Chains A and B, each alone.
Chain A
Amino acid sequence: MNLLESARFALTGVAANKMRSILTTLGILIGIAAVIILLAVGAGTSNNIKAQIGKLGTNVLTVSRSTSVGGRATGGQSGASRTRSTNLTVDDEQALTDPVLAPDVARTAPIVQAQGVTATYTSATHSVASFLGTTPSYFDISNSTVAAGALFTDADQQSASPVAVIGNTVATDLFGAATGSAVGQSIQLNGQNFTVAGVLAVKGSSGLNDPDDIVVVPLSAAQNKFTGYAPTLASITVQAVSADVMNQAQNEVQMILDARHHVDSTNRDYQVRNQAQILTTATNTTQTLTILLGAVAAISLLVGGIGVMNIMLVTVTERTREIGIRKAIGASRGSIVAQFLIESLIISVIGGVAGIVIGFAGSAFPVLGVQPEVQSWTVWLSLAVSAIIGLVFGVYPANKAAKLRPIDALRYE
């Protein structure tokens, strides 16, 4: 009795009770599909966060005032009122662009922020999520390009021109779908007139915050009209020459600022955040999430496996007589085990394959704004796991069948 024969007998066994086989298969199907979809959602979330951080620039350092030293954190607007001499200044920012002391720093941009800025155009208003005053180098660092109009220039910065570059979300809210029509229009930002110089290309909303809900004006204009002339900055954005020299760039930035602020590593009044570190933290968080999701899915798979065992036990009881007949005509214990084991294997592998198909189909739709990404290894793993479930949960029923004594089995009604 070879395996092929056992497989043929097993197939007729599965086909004999189609409805029951389908329902049992469903248990495995749901488990496998859940594993694939949930892991795909985890991977999608993780990639989404990576992409979002990538949009900010993977070779970007952010220098900000430390909140642990030097008093409470401040909103951008109140920066002018601070009296501490060690706040970040435009001079600090310019000192970082030093080809000798900081060869790994490509460019820097000073940033001031204002909270609660409302943009108005005729009767339309929009509450701006992110209002920045900076220099044109910010656009290079943040990989920003315009969809319409132009970015503001160094000349605008020097003359403190009231020009603004607005994000797509702002433009849509104020000017409707034809965002290009915003260029050259005059808008009010907290009642102050600004001319729209350009509309930024869409970066794409992802999850919690919207990178397109932004208004960028020249640093000088922001200080002029919002934050006052005090030289304090909210942060300095530093771009390293490449992603490989992030740590060198960070050390150089710290060395220059330590000297200027007369501090050392123990009492720094500023902090340098590395995008790579943020990325690592975010990745760890999503990994934990993915493991949790996977565990939930694995439990449903286990339940499916128990379902297979249950049905196989019913099948063995139901076919006791057949087992007796087969043993009487010469089936060995091994061939009975093989027949029932293959039968449970067929049920779970069919469930597994169908689950993979459903998993792919289910992963095609975005979940909570995240596009799930099916990991190819989860497909192979699912296939292997469904086969293992078939074997493990089939062993007991198959053995039970094989151990039946032919005279008892033949007498069974």
Chain B
Amino acid sequence: MTYTPVLDVDDVTKSYPGEPPVRALRGVTLAIGQGELVGIVGPSGSGKTTLMNIIGCLDAPTAGSYLLDGINTRELDEYQQAQIRNRKIGFVFQNFNLISRTKAVDNVAMPLAYAKVGRHERRDRALAMLDTVGLSSRAGHRPSQLSGGQQQRVAIARALVTNPVLLLADEPTGALDSRSSAEILDLFESLHASGRTIVMITHEMDVAERAGRVVRMQDGRIISDERQQPVHGRTLAVAP
């Protein structure tokens, strides 16, 4: 397996002002390579959400460096950070975060609008991406007309439509029933199989165990980082 670091977090700390200051991250070092499926687990308060915000360029670290696809994110201004989020990262949230008055296909196409892609190409790519997640028949539906699992698949399609180097999922199955959860995890595995780099943050061990690599966090530190054989026997090396 080629180890090109998509994500290179080096001794990152993050503290929030207060009395006393809250030290959410106390020096995290993590490198994630191209095509990996990584689960970050930990109890609440372990700093995993803070780490995800930093990885996702939604928040800046207090100290330490973070390279995303070779780009040092601390040197970016706000506009460039927005561009990074648009081109390099796809977000999947626990509560889907779709825009409710907008059709599924338009939700998926929205990042492309911010990437200045033409209208027709946007629609074509959004429909193709909905097809990839198995929802082409629901393109014209609004989020309220879709089930939770379907909404999450729309959100995954939106995250992938700009072809980002990193798919970042924050508790992607947290709001879903077990059947939908299994479907979403299957979808992640097949995306992983096609070479996507995916980072999944969760507090559910069974979810994390489906990842090829599990990073455990506690009290703002990484306490373990181990690779494992996937439970469904899929091989790790893919990279088509």
Chain A residues lying within 8 Å of B79, measured Cβ to Cβ, are 332-334
Shortest B184–chain A CB gap in Å is: 19
User: Contact at B87–A330, with CB atoms within 8 Å?
Assistant: yes
The 0/1 profile, CB within 8 Å of B marked 1, for residues 320-334 of chain A is 011011111111111
Q: How large is the interface on B (under 10, 10 to 19, 20 to 34, 35 or more residues)?
A: 20 to 34
The answer, yes or no, to whether A16 is at the interface (CB within 8 Å) is yes
Instruction: Name the interface residues of A365-387: CB closer than 8 Å to any CB of B.
Output: none
User: Contact at A327–B82, with CB atoms within 8 Å?
Assistant: yes
Chain B residues lying within 8 Å of A328, measured Cβ to Cβ, are 56, 58, 85, 91, 97
Determine the residue in chain B with the shortest Cβ distance to A329.
B111
Partner of A332, one of B82, B98, B162: B82
Main secondary structure of the interface of A (DSSP, over half): helix
The answer, yes or no, to whether B116 is at the interface (CB within 8 Å) is yes
Chain A residues lying within 8 Å of B162, measured Cβ to Cβ, are 330
The answer, yes or no, to whether B66 is at the interface (CB within 8 Å) is no
The answer, yes or no, to whether A410 is at the interface (CB within 8 Å) is yes
User: Contact at B53–A407, with CB atoms within 8 Å?
Assistant: yes
User: Contact at A330–B82, with CB atoms within 8 Å?
Assistant: yes
The answer, yes or no, to whether B101 is at the interface (CB within 8 Å) is yes
Q: Given A1-B114, A16-B101, A322-B99: A329 and B158 within 8 A (CB)?
A: yes
Q: Give the distance in Å from the alpha carbon of A245 to the alpha carbon of B149 in the complex.
A: 91
User: Contact at A330–B97, with CB atoms within 8 Å?
Assistant: no
User: Contact at B97–A332, with CB atoms within 8 Å?
Assistant: no
User: Contact at B99–A406, with CB atoms within 8 Å?
Assistant: no
Q: Give the distance in Å from the alpha carbon of A327 to the alpha carbon of B82 in the complex.
A: 7
The answer, yes or no, to whether A277 is at the interface (CB within 8 Å) is no
User: Contact at B85–A410, with CB atoms within 8 Å?
Assistant: no
The answer, yes or no, to whether A122 is at the interface (CB within 8 Å) is no
User: Contact at B53–A329, with CB atoms within 8 Å?
Assistant: no
Partner of A333, one of B82, B99, B110, B158: B82
Shortest B73–chain A CB gap in Å is: 14
Q: Given A334-B79, A406-B58, A410-B93: A329 and B101 within 8 A (CB)?
A: no
Q: Give the distance in Å from the alpha carbon of A333 to the alpha carbon of B86 in the complex.
A: 13
User: Contact at A332–B58, with CB atoms within 8 Å?
Assistant: no
Q: Give the distance in Å from the alpha carbon of A407 to the alpha carbon of B59 in the complex.
A: 7
Q: Give the distance in Å from the alpha carbon of A193 to the alpha carbon of B67 in the complex.
A: 113
Chain A residues lying within 8 Å of B56, measured Cβ to Cβ, are 328
Chain B residues lying within 8 Å of A325, measured Cβ to Cβ, are 97-99
User: Contact at A335–B114, with CB atoms within 8 Å?
Assistant: yes
Partner of A12, one of B78, B87, B101: B101
The answer, yes or no, to whether A83 is at the interface (CB within 8 Å) is no
Determine the residue in chain B with the shortest Cβ distance to A5.
B113
Q: Given A1-B113, A333-B78: A327 and B85 within 8 A (CB)?
A: yes
Q: Give the distance in Å from the alpha carbon of A327 to the alpha carbon of B56 in the complex.
A: 12
The answer, yes or no, to whether B65 is at the interface (CB within 8 Å) is no
Chain B residues lying within 8 Å of A209, measured Cβ to Cβ, are none
The answer, yes or no, to whether A2 is at the interface (CB within 8 Å) is yes
Q: What number of residue pairs across chains A and B have CB atoms under 8 A from each other? A: 64
Instruction: Name the interface residues of B106-143: CB closer than 8 Å to any CB of A.
Output: 110-111, 113-116
Partner of A330, one of B83, B98, B101, B102: B83
Shortest B149–chain A CB gap in Å is: 19
Q: Give the distance in Å from the alpha carbon of A322 to the alpha carbon of B58 in the complex.
A: 15
User: Contact at A330–B85, with CB atoms within 8 Å?
Assistant: yes
Shortest B109–chain A CB gap in Å is: 10
Chain B residues lying within 8 Å of A2, measured Cβ to Cβ, are 116
Chain B residues lying within 8 Å of A407, measured Cβ to Cβ, are 53, 58-59
Shortest A334–chain B CB gap in Å is: 7
Partner of B114, one of A12, A321, A330, A406: A330
Q: Give the distance in Å from the alpha carbon of A16 to the alpha carbon of B101 in the complex.
A: 7
Chain A residues lying within 8 Å of B98, measured Cβ to Cβ, are 325
User: Contact at A330–B116, with CB atoms within 8 Å?
Assistant: no
Chain A residues lying within 8 Å of B82, measured Cβ to Cβ, are 327, 330-333
Shortest B81–chain A CB gap in Å is: 9
Q: Give the distance in Å from the alpha carbon of A394 to the alpha carbon of B182 in the complex.
A: 46
Chain B residues lying within 8 Å of A329, measured Cβ to Cβ, are 85-86, 91, 110-111, 114, 158
Determine the residue in chain A with the shortest Cβ distance to B86.
A330
Chain B residues lying within 8 Å of A5, measured Cβ to Cβ, are 113
Chain A residues lying within 8 Å of B114, measured Cβ to Cβ, are 1, 326, 329-332, 335
Determine the residue in chain A with the shortest Cβ distance to B53.
A407
User: Contact at A12–B102, with CB atoms within 8 Å?
Assistant: yes
Q: Give the distance in Å from the alpha carbon of A407 to the alpha carbon of B114 in the complex.
A: 19
Q: Give the distance in Å from the alpha carbon of A334 to the alpha carbon of B162 in the complex.
A: 20
- The interface centre, meaning the residue of A16, A325, A407 with most chain B CB atoms within 10 A of its CB, is A325
Shortest A79–chain B CB gap in Å is: 83
Q: Give the distance in Å from the alpha carbon of A252 to the alpha carbon of B86 in the complex.
A: 86
User: Contact at A1–B116, with CB atoms within 8 Å?
Assistant: yes
The 0/1 profile, CB within 8 Å of B marked 1, for residues 291-330 of chain A is 0000000000000000000000000000001101111111
Shortest B95–chain A CB gap in Å is: 9
Chain A residues lying within 8 Å of B59, measured Cβ to Cβ, are 405, 407
Chain A residues lying within 8 Å of B93, measured Cβ to Cβ, are 410
Chain B residues lying within 8 Å of A322, measured Cβ to Cβ, are 99
Q: Give the distance in Å from the alpha carbon of A311 to the alpha carbon of B101 in the complex.
A: 19
Residues of chain B touching chain A, judged by Cβ–Cβ distance below 8 Å, are 53, 56, 58-59, 78-79, 82-83, 85-87, 91, 93, 97-99, 101-102, 110-111, 113-116, 158, 162
Given contacts A322-B99, A329-B85, A410-B93, 19 further A-B contacts (CB under 8 A): A2-B116, A9-B113, A325-B97, A326-B99, A326-B110, A328-B91, A329-B158, A330-B86, A330-B111, A331-B82, A331-B86, A331-B114, A332-B82, A333-B78, A333-B79, A335-B114, A405-B58, A406-B58, A407-B59
A-B contact pairs, 16 of them (CB 8 A): A1-B113, A1-B116, A325-B97, A325-B98, A326-B114, A328-B56, A329-B110, A330-B111, A330-B115, A330-B162, A331-B82, A334-B79, A405-B58, A406-B58, A406-B85, A407-B58
